[in-house]
Amino acid sequence: MIFVTGGAGFIGSNFVLDWLTQSDEKIINLDKLTYAGNLKNLLTVAKDPRHIFIQGDIADTQLIDQILTQYQPRAIINLAAESHVDRSIHGPEDFIQTNILGTFRLLESVRTYWNNLSTATKQNFRFLHVSTDEVYGSLASNEPAFTENHRYQPNSPYSASKASSDHLVRAFHHTYGLPVLTTNCSNNYGPFQFPEKLIPLVIVNALAQKPLPLYGDGLQIRDWLFVLDHCSAIRRILETGIPGETYNIGGWNEKPNIEIVKTICTILEEIYPNVVFHNLITSVKDRPGHDRRYAINAIKIEKELSWKPAETFETGIRKTIHWYLNNQEWVADIQTGAYREWIKKNYTELR
């Protein structure tokens, strides 16, 4: 039995669905169902006895203690977080609450649970904390990509809150011996991503012939990884990573934002030859404190754990565009907010 937090969000729901295609091992999925949590992502496993969904907060110690005692998981994968940089700029409080306090409370419960395990079970237990490349701060164009030893220099309230959680996870290993693994991954894209993030926002707006907002000069660089590659990396690290180590995960796909947006327009113009999408690209005010460049050196995971991404950006972006084209009802539900009402009504049945 494994215990996943944040499993109704973008990466979490992809992880849960992918896990259940690869393994018969049960998953407990705890998610607070904030605006970013959508049980509709998990419809195909709603009746699957291997998937146990619980609505709740990682900061709720009583609930976490009860789950740990009842289900005795062999591993925890912590994906629950507030994840959107722009939201963290407008209102950082929730980021502090979940990403810092929530992770701390979860770690405290896990420490007690782990201490009480038998020696053999204790050794095999893992707490895998999913983090981001944003904790390393911004790179100049001539600087080498982030390695695991790069100094932490988070610039947004989001990345500062993730950096804090990474430090707590590290300290729980150093001080208490908790067998933790930390992953720092680059920008993900793929099915079920909330259309507030660049790639789904651009696809969804383009299909509605709405402006495609590009912050500042659009030359900021990110490294992009298809979400199922992130999921396969997490699985690999969970099974073969060394406790106390951190692993960078990346796609070797550094691209400026303008190129991402133009690529999406070009693919859509192939699919709809009579429609123009490029003219929707609109330069808008820059994000305050906007990091210029992230780049991941993923040699450690490649050399030590034999992991490589399966998708290139070219294959992954096409899969993603087609997913959004084929799931316009999912998008519409989010845009109208109907998904929240639907979850309330169907929650019991979905559990």
Catalytic residue of the set 133, 166, 229, 311: 133
Catalytic residue of the set 31, 82, 113, 158: 158
Tell me the closest approach of the beta carbon of residue 225 to ligand NAD, in angstroms: 8
Tell me the closest approach of the beta carbon of residue 201 to ligand NAD, in angstroms: 13
**Residue 192 CB contacts under 8 Å (≥ 6 apart), including other chains:** 10, 13, 14, 38, 41, 227, 330
Q: Which residue has the tokens 């330069």?
A: 283
How many helices (H) and strands (E) would you count in the chain? 14, 12
* Residue 158 is among the residues annotated as catalytic for this protein: yes
Q: Which two tokens stand for residue 271?
A: 């699919």
187 binds ligand NAD (CB under 6 A): yes
> Which CB, 9 or 56, lies closer to ligand TDX?
9
Rounded distance, CA 286 to CA 215, Å?
4
CA 64 to chain centre: 21
Tell me the C-alpha to C-alpha distance, in Å, between residue 320 and each of 19, 33, 42, 189, 324: 20, 23, 18, 7, 6
Candidate segments 21-29, 53-61, 234-242, 255-263, binder of ligand NAD by CB under 6 A: 53-61
Candidate segments 76-84, 114-122, 282-290, 306-314, binder of ligand NAD by CB under 6 A: 76-84
Rounded distance, CA 33 to CA 340, Å?
9
> Which CB, 78 or 280, lies closer to ligand NAD?
78
* Residue 57 is among the residues annotated as catalytic for this protein: no
* Residue 133 is among the residues annotated as catalytic for this protein: yes
CA 315 to chain centre: 20
Catalytic residue of the set 31, 57, 82, 134: 134
Burial of residue 11 (number of CB atoms within 10 Å: 0-12, 13-18, 19+):
buried
10 binds ligand NAD (CB under 6 A): yes
> Which CB, 188 or 246, lies closer to ligand NAD?
188
Binding site for ligand TDX (CB under 6 A): 83-85, 132, 134, 187, 197-198, 201, 213-215, 220, 222, 257, 287
Tell me the closest approach of the beta carbon of residue 279 to ligand NAD, in angstroms: 28
Rounded distance, CA 226 to CA 51, Å?
24
Query: Do you know the residue count of the chain?
Result: 351
162 binds ligand NAD (CB under 6 A): yes
Rounded distance, CA 302 to CA 229, Å?
13
Active site residues: 133-134, 158
Q: Which residues bind ligand NAD (CB under 6 A)?
A: 5-6, 8-12, 30-34, 36-37, 57-59, 79-83, 98, 102, 130, 132, 162, 185, 187-188, 194
